[in-house]
């Protein structure tokens, strides 16, 4: 069964192509707060795109549109409700950056750019740490820790000139730092291909740069800094067009009634707090269930009939399914060694089941491949997290988005 693509008219209105025609959503946004969020300013009030609504220890929460914002609480969940008022600012002119290092970092902070390579990391804090160390090195890679979409193609399609100039700009403001540029696929063999988990920063740095990032010897960890393709896409928008971080590419994968995955790549640039109701217009309510994050990550299953709002800081994938994805039942280990064979860092995950060898916890990058490929459905992911983070309660244990 092949799933129909959305009409061309819909794609022209809702599927952004880089800086050429920003997506325009109309209606209200619900931007979630957590217990660490400090509200900024008075409520209700009128805001512009990019205005600060709240501040957390890891990032700023910015307004996704022009409109009226109020602070509400429902079912013990605090959130900002933003009602769009007038057109969303969509035209951004190219700006030749004439900044020193401090000006560059201040611009990133103003626009709230977030690292999409490391969880709960503001990019300005991350690059401030990079600027401090004399021997620190910066790696620019088109790969990301997401399987989809392909940011090697997106960067070259949307911002080819900016990508070509980024290395020179960073070298000019950080003249004593070594910068490794892997953005041009025509010059670097490893950027022309991608195989998960090459986009996981630690794996990329150790495999491709021969740095000591994980394992027993971690002598290079802490001085090698990594910017992946998705983070660089937003950095370019901030640096050359002064665009705040209020949107993110949401990759969508579809699973039919027989459990087969439609392999076509679908992604949309979605604003923070945007309702997923727009999916009804594209997928005609065929898919009754959804789960956030990709197949290699655990996720709770939700009904399409309920309303959910996008969180750009937490979510990058959406899986739509005709039927309720079944929860895998763990069967006894057959000692097939698939988990060890697929492990990219030779951490020996089978040692978590049997005591005949040692699990190399320092080498594990938590890519999830051992769980995904285990024919017995053993949840190695939860066992690894229990071992690495014994004081953190693992919620939704054993739940996956695997159909």
DSSP 321-378: ESSPPPPPPP-------HHHHH-TT---GGGGT-SSS---GGG-----HHHHH-TT--
Q: Which residues contact residue 101 at a Cβ distance below 8 angstroms, ignoring those fewer than 6 apart?
A: 131, 173, 174
Mean pLDDT of the chain: 85
What CA–CA distance (Å, rounded) separates 50 from 1?
42
> How far apart are the two ends of the chain, measured CA to CA in Å?
16
Residue 311, pLDDT > 80, answer yes
Residue 85 — very low, low, confident or very high, per pLDDT cuts 50/70/90?
confident
Q: Is the dihedral of CA 10, 14, 20, 22 positive or negative?
A: positive
Highest mean pLDDT: which range of 165-179, 288-302, 304-318: 165-179
Residue 401, pLDDT > 50, answer no
Question: Would you identify the CATH topology of the domain 247-321?
Answer: Ubiquitin-like (UB roll) (3.10.20)
Residue of higher predicted confidence among 26 and 35: 35
Residue of higher predicted confidence among 277 and 20: 277
Average pLDDT over residues 25-35: 82
Question: Residue ranges per domain, the chain?
Answer: 25-84, 101-241, 247-321, 329-403
Q: For 141-164, what is the HEC assignment? A: ECCCCCCCCCHHHHHHHHCHHHHH
pLDDT of residue 397: 39
The region, left, alpha or beta by phi > 0 then psi within -120 to 50, assigned to residue 368 is left
Residue of higher predicted confidence among 282 and 16: 282
Residue 392, pLDDT > 60, answer no
Q: Are 293 and 299 in contact (CB under 8 A)?
A: yes
180 three-state secondary structure: strand
Residue 80 — very low, low, confident or very high, per pLDDT cuts 50/70/90?
very high
Nearest CA among 22, 43, 56 for reference residue 311: 56
Tokens for 140, please give them.
Answer: 């620019």
Residue 24, pLDDT > 60, answer no
**If you count DSSP H runs as helices and E runs as strands, how many of each does the chain have, helices first?**
11, 15
pLDDT of residue 281: 79
pLDDT of residue 9: 36
Give tens-digit pLDDT for 215-237: 999 999 999 999 999 999 999 99
pLDDT of residue 245: 97
Average pLDDT over residues 129-143: 95
Specify the pairing of strand 77-84 against strand 67-74: antiparallel
Tokens for 40, please give them.
Answer: 């900024």
What CA–CA distance (Å, rounded) separates 122 from 107?
13
Is the overall model pTM greater than 0.85, yes or no? yes
What CA–CA distance (Å, rounded) separates 315 from 251?
10
The answer to whether 247-321 and 329-403 have equal CATH topology is no
Average pLDDT over residues 31-39: 92
pLDDT of residue 28: 86
Architecture per CATH, 329-403: 2-Layer Sandwich (3.30)
pLDDT of residue 230: 97
Average pLDDT over residues 370-397: 80
What CA–CA distance (Å, rounded) separates 305 from 289?
8
Average pLDDT over residues 100-127: 96
Weakest-pLDDT range from 17-21, 276-280, 323-327, 350-354: 17-21
Residue 274, pLDDT > 80, answer yes
What CA–CA distance (Å, rounded) separates 215 from 398?
27
pLDDT of residue 283: 80
Q: Is the dihedral of CA 128, 131, 133, 135 positive or negative?
A: positive
Residue of higher predicted confidence among 326 and 398: 326
């Amino acid at each position: 069964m092949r799933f129909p693509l959305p009409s061309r008219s819909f794609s022209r209105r809702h599927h952004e192509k880089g800086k050429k025609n920003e997506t325009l959503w109309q209606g209200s946004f619900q931007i979630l707060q957590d217990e660490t969020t400090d509200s900024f300013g008075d409520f209700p009030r009128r805001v512009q795109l990019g205005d600060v609504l709240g501040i957390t220890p890891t990032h700023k929460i910015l307004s996704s549109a022009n409109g009226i914002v109020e602070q509400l609480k429902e079912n013990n969940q605090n959130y900002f409700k933003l009602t769009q008022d007038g057109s969303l600012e969509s035209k951004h002119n190219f700006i030749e950056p004439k900044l020193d290092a401090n000006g560059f970092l201040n611009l990133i902070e103003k626009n709230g750019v977030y690292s999409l390579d490391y969880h709960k990391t503001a990019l300005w804090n991350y690059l401030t740490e990079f600027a401090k160390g004399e021997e620190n090195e910066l790696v620019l890679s088109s790969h990301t820790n997401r399987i989809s979409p392909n940011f090697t193609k997106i960067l070259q399609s949307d911002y080819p000139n900016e990508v070509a100039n980024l290395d020179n700009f960073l070298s000019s403001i950080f003249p004593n730092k070594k910068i490794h540029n892997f953005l041009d696929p025509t010059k670097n063999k490893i950027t022309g291909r991608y195989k998960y988990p090459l986009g996981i920063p630690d794996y990329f740095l150790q495999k491709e740069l021969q740095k000591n990032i994980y394992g027993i010897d971690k002598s290079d960890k802490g001085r090698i800094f990594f910017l992946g393709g998705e983070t660089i896409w937003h950095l370019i928008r901030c640096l050359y067009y002064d665009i705040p971080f209020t949107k993110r590419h949401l990759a969508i994968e579809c699973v039919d009634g027989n459990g087969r995955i439609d392999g076509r790549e679908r992604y949309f640039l979605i604003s923070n707090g945007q309702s997923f109701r727009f999916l009804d217009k594209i997928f005609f309510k065929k898919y009754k269930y959804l789960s956030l994050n990709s197949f290699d990550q655990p996720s709770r299953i939700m009904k399409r009939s309920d309303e959910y709002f996008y969180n750009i800081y937490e979510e990058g994938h959406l899986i739509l399914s005709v039927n309720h994805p079944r929860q895998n039942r763990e069967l006894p280990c057959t000692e097939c060694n698939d988990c060890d064979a697929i492990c990219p860092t030779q951490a020996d995950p089978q040692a978590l089941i049997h005591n005949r060898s040692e699990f190399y916890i320092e080498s594990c990058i938590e890519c999830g491949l051992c769980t995904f490929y285990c024919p017995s459905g053993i949840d190695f992911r939860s066992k690894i997290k229990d071992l690495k983070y014994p004081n953190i309660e693992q919620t939704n244990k054993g739940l996956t988005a695997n159909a």
